[in-house]
Amino acid sequence: MNIFRAISVTSSQVLNFVREQLIALNEAFRLPMATSIRSLRGLLIALLVGLFVAIIAVGMQPFGLDLFNHEQKTELLLGFGGVAAFAMLLVKFVLPTIFPKFYNKQNWTVARQSLHFLIMVLLITTLMVIYGNTFHIITFKINDILKVFALSIIPVIVTTFIQQRVFQNKFAACAESINHALRTLAKSNTEQNLSVLVLGEKDERLSLLPNQFIYAETDKTSTNIYWQNFMGVEKTTIHADVEKELSASPQFIRLDKNIIVNTRGILKVEGNARGYQVRIARTSREIAVPWRFHKQLEKLIQAGKAIQ
């Protein structure tokens, strides 16, 4: 009986351990992650991958490519690079357009990034096999595609987790430095370069003290300005471009193609593997800062150090 009891206890402990590990793995796959879909960075990555594949195909000629003889061999081998770049563009730009819900950057996670990478591997491999077979460069079979895909699963997942950790540490540390700089700037007694902000024209003119301005949402024809009055936060819409007026002072920065904020109105900057999330004071607004605007925030670190 003691043996059966020991086996039962051990089995229960093993099952609990496995369950805990599966729960932890599920939580890890749900961690936030950055992505380069539909961005200039994604375009550059696609071109670099194509260039890398072309160099490998021509320079090293693996998988029996060295046995291929043709008067236009170099051009045909370079075609593998073009195919790889084309597949990358499909994954980074076309698929996100077809499946916008899945490719929502604000909900991007380690799991989605891993699946994204695997789709990329599968598509690149498939198109390169079709290209090689069509031009009789080298003969591949469907089994070869499945082998490459299967062998790539673990490396893709491991690489994604490493990327997530690197980005998480980087942006979390930078966010703390930015918050410290914001506190330093807020305590400084530096003279304001602008005594009064005059935004808009004619009947829609809005005059504010610089620190009354919180943030603005801009589009092609109008601007929604959120500003502080004695009663709270007020929204005023004007049909004018306010960027020229605001750009006269480094106190106002653009954190999105449609959003300009007052750095004194930033409550907190948070950093995770997706990048920076900015919380605006006296409002419930949070701004997920696109990568191309990260430098605008990071410049505040140097500005804070300059006045210490």
Residue carrying structure tokens 């471009």: 241
| Most confident range, picked from 78-87, 230-239, 240-249, 281-290 | 78-87
pLDDT at 202: 72
184 within 8 A of 263, measured Cβ to Cβ: no
Who contacts 51 (Cβ-Cβ below 8 Å, separation ≥6)? 81, 85
Per-residue pLDDT tens digits for 166-191? 999 999 999 999 999 998 888 775 54
Provide the b/e sequence for 142-165 (b: ≥16 CB within 10 Å): eeebeebbeebeeebbeebbebbe
Superfamily per CATH, domain 172-306: LytTr DNA-binding domain (2.40.50.1020)
Task: Decide if pLDDT at 201 tops 80.
Answer: no
Task: Decide if pLDDT at 7 tops 70.
Answer: no
Reported confidence tier of residue 87, pLDDT bands at 50, 70, 90: very high
Per-residue pLDDT tens digits for 16-53? 877 888 888 889 999 999 999 999 999 999 999 999 99
Can you give the pTM of this predicted structure? 0.81
CATH 2.40.50.1020 residue window(s) in the chain: 172-306
